[in-house]
Amino acid sequence: MSEASGLEVIVLAAGRGKRMRSKSPKMVHTLAGRPLLQHVLDAVSALAPERVHVVVGHQAEQVQDVVGAEADVNWVQQGEPQGTGHAVGAALPSLARDATALILLGDVPLVSVPTLQACVAAAGPNSVALVTAELDDPAQLGRIVRNEDGSVAAIVEYADATDAQREQKEINSGIMALPAALLGELLVGVSADNAQGEYYLTDIVTLARARHIDVVAVSAPTQQEVAGVNDRAELAELERHYQQRIAQELMEGGVTLADPSRLDVRGNVSAGEDCFIDVNVVLQGRVVMGDSVTIGPGCVISDSELGSGVYVHPNTVVEGAVVAADCNLGPFARIRPGTQLGEGVKIGNFVETKQARLGAGTKASHLAYLGDAELGEDCNVGAGTVTCNYDGVSKHRTSIGDRVFVGTNSTLVAPIGIGDDAYVGAGSTLTSKVGDGDLAIGRARQRNIHGWVRPDRREAKDD
């Protein structure tokens, strides 16, 4: 069956997650910078389903908020939780009767698209498909019970399992697919006559076999793919697995990592050849790197493009910036959103930029703030320079031409323009336009007072 042919998805996301010990519902906790539920929704979106139904309950508004109003999701309120069967039953009226239903758990974030595709393909017109896995430590997960011929006979929840069944390593992932009409028929026969007094979705397997309906097991390729998150320790374990997988992909693509275990990717990263990333680097959102980019230790790069040959020195933050080839940033620099740097620009230690465009070859080597500013090519910005862009009500821009020298400790009060080849004397406060080639000096006149006595000495003299 094609994954786009009448496929509808039910995601169970109503669990409270008491073991997380959190005021927030489990589904909003993040893995690699994204909520657990979002990982699942991203995976199912690749199947191009006709509709996605998310069953929520505890703190439903928080869960809906993290996904966003723009998400194409049908939210289903479960009400008082009475088990997974009850949750699926809440969504069932929203499904087309001739659809194929794919059921997933919102706290199993690393399930892959190929596994979901295989599960859907195995769900025939009169069969149930489910994803299973062999775990080293199956803990309290439901066990797969097989017949002598190897076919699936039942799923037994841990609380109801015998000692022998608990010894089994094959578990139910909670992911299954079957025709929606068949799902409705089987759910009618599910009862709450069990150790937990809940309506188990897994009971439909036994009911299906009693009707001689095939149950097909699809084996997950890795344990982590079907691992659920029940507490913060399990969340951290999956985080490390995810990061190791991304690190491996980057290295296979030509990136050298100083220590693959000390890189965190929280978004999508693409990199050219011969890039080097040092330890404790965080890459967030969409990050694009050209060839031979070097990122030093302790850097955070978010939603930015770094051209070939860019060198980001230690402890530098780059956010929402476009950085051309051969730029040098940091150490301890902050490149804020809206920054565009031309080729060979140098942003040194303790320099901050925001909504700033710097032309090729321009340098601000240390201790400066360049906000709402446009600088031409081959400028030099001295230490302590500040573009005063905010008057308490509105932001104003500073415009600086090519080959301008701005001396140390200069204050440029926007809105202001400085022409090409101008020179600003150190310690100047400028409030009006500077023409091409002009020398601008805006200092207070120096005054020396002879015979001045320090206040502490005056008090001693009076005593």
265/33 Cα distance (integer angstroms): 8
216/3 Cα distance (integer angstroms): 17
- What pLDDT is recorded for position 461? 59
Mean pLDDT check: name the lowest of 117-126, 193-202, 450-459.
Answer: 450-459
Helix, strand or coil, per DSSP, at residue 232: helix
- What pLDDT is recorded for position 81? 82
**CATH node for 232-440:** 2.160.10.10
* Every domain range in the chain assigned CATH 3.90.550.10: 7-226
Q: Give me the DSSP letters along 235-291.
A: HHHHHHHHHHHHHHHHHHTTEEES-GGGEEEEEEEEE-TTEEE-TTEEEEEEEEE-T
Whether pLDDT at 1 is above 50: no
Confidence of residue 457 (pLDDT cuts 50, 70, 90): low
Contacts of 150 (CB under 8 A, 6+ apart): none
- What pLDDT is recorded for position 58? 82
The verdict on whether omega for the bond into residue 81 sits within 30 degrees of 0, i.e. cis, is no
pLDDT > 70: what percent of the chain?
97
The string of pLDDT tens digits covering residues 213-262 is 999 999 999 999 999 999 999 999 999 999 999 999 999 999 999 999 99
> Burial of 393 by CB count in 10 Å (0-12 exposed, 13-18 middle, 19+ buried)?
exposed
Structure-token pair, residue 154: 């039942």
Structure-token pair, residue 23: 């005021």
Residues classed as catalytic: 366
38/107 Cα distance (integer angstroms): 10
298 within 8 A of 312, measured Cβ to Cβ:
no
Whether pLDDT at 2 is above 60: no
- What pLDDT is recorded for position 197? 87
12/360 Cα distance (integer angstroms): 53
From residue 196, alpha-carbon distances to 143, 158, 163, 188 in Å are 16, 10, 18, 19
- What pLDDT is recorded for position 463? 56
The string of pLDDT tens digits covering residues 355-409 is 999 999 999 999 999 999 999 999 999 999 999 999 999 999 999 999 999 999 9
* Every domain range in the chain assigned CATH 2.160.10.10: 232-440
> Burial of 396 by CB count in 10 Å (0-12 exposed, 13-18 middle, 19+ buried)?
middle
What stretch of H or E contains 374? strand 363-375
Q: Who wins on pLDDT, 235 or 3?
A: 235
29/21 Cα distance (integer angstroms): 11
Mean pLDDT of the chain: 94
375 within 8 A of 357, measured Cβ to Cβ:
yes
287 within 8 A of 264, measured Cβ to Cβ:
no
Which residues are 364's β-sheet partners? 347, 381
Whether pLDDT at 55 is above 90: yes
DSSP assigned state of 395: B
What is the second-level CATH architecture of the domain 7-226?
A: Alpha-Beta Complex (3.90)
